[in-house]
Amino acid sequence: MHNDRGRTSDPPGPERGDPDRAARENPRSARTANLFGALALEAARAQEAATRVVVGQAGAAAAALVVVAASPGRTLEQLREPLGLTQPGATRLVERLVQAGWIERGGPGGRRGLRLRLTATGQQVFEELLAARRAALTELLTPLSGQQQAQLAELFETLLAACTHDRADLERLCRLCERRTCKRCPVGHALDQILDAAREEEMHHANPRQARP
């Protein structure tokens, strides 16, 4: 097919010429995806609203406290990546958290940057925002029985593992997690499997004659 400039253009595929084709061919999957998207929006709204009440601001402030609590001593650069912030945005966020008395900066600084840690007040705010997040999300699950919630947890584990490809994914997916309630983290487990496979492959290339077990 040629366009008006004489160049060949791709023929209209299902997604271009007929955007509803996939939904017609697999209506159950299309409906499931649609319902999941609606619930994801509500879960995100509930989390954001609950944590905003505690920290008094929207955006990445709550996640920043969770990330720093999980790995005390992070630099600003190590903080901004899982939050998806630019360097100036992360700098402004940390400045607000320092002024609030929730985060303190220390260490030698220089090229490696100052290390971030929660203050005692910051630790208290961190605990409060996790409790608020847990209450908001638990309320969304209350229509389900205990058995249904257990089944849903297994499905969540499968989906989260499938979203994991590297360390950056773990940092991003778990940036608001209450880690102590997730002793068997599906994201961490999936990452461990990926790293183990990479090490095994590296050893195989380094010793091509060595048979794999």
Sheet strands (E) in the chain? 103-106, 115-118
Residue 18 has pLDDT above 90, yes or no: no
- Residue given tokens 């650069």 in the structure block: 77
Tell me the pLDDT tens digit for each residue of 150-199: 999 999 999 999 999 999 999 999 999 999 998 889 999 999 999 888 88
Whole-number mean pLDDT of the chain? 87
Q: Give the global pTM.
A: 0.79
Residue 4 has pLDDT above 80, yes or no: no
More confident residue, 160 or 5: 160
Q: In whole angstroms, what is the distance from residue 121 CA to residue 99 CA?
A: 12
Q: In whole angstroms, what is the distance from residue 67 CA to residue 61 CA?
A: 10
Q: At what angle do helices 61-70 and 120-141 cross, to 10 degrees?
A: 110
- Main-chain phi, psi angles of 128, to 5 degrees: -70, -40
Instruction: State residue 44's pLDDT score.
Output: 96
Mean pLDDT of 121-139: 97
Instruction: State residue 57's pLDDT score.
Output: 86
The full set of domain ranges for the chain reads 35-143, 144-213
Biggest distance spanned by C-alpha atoms of the chain: 68
Mean pLDDT of 85-110: 90
Instruction: State residue 22's pLDDT score.
Output: 66
Instruction: State residue 90's pLDDT score.
Output: 94
Mean pLDDT of 84-113: 88
For the domain with range 35-143, which CATH number is right: 1.25.50.10, 1.10.10.10, 3.40.50.150, 3.40.50.510? 1.10.10.10
DSSP letters for 132-184: HHHHHHHHHHTTS-HHHHHHHHHHHHHHHHHT--SHHHHHHHTTT--GGG-SS
CB-based burial label for 42 (10 Å; 0-12, 13-18, 19+): exposed
Tell me the pLDDT tens digit for each residue of 23-50: 677 777 899 999 999 999 999 999 999 9
Mean pLDDT of 66-81: 93
Residue 213 has pLDDT above 60, yes or no: no
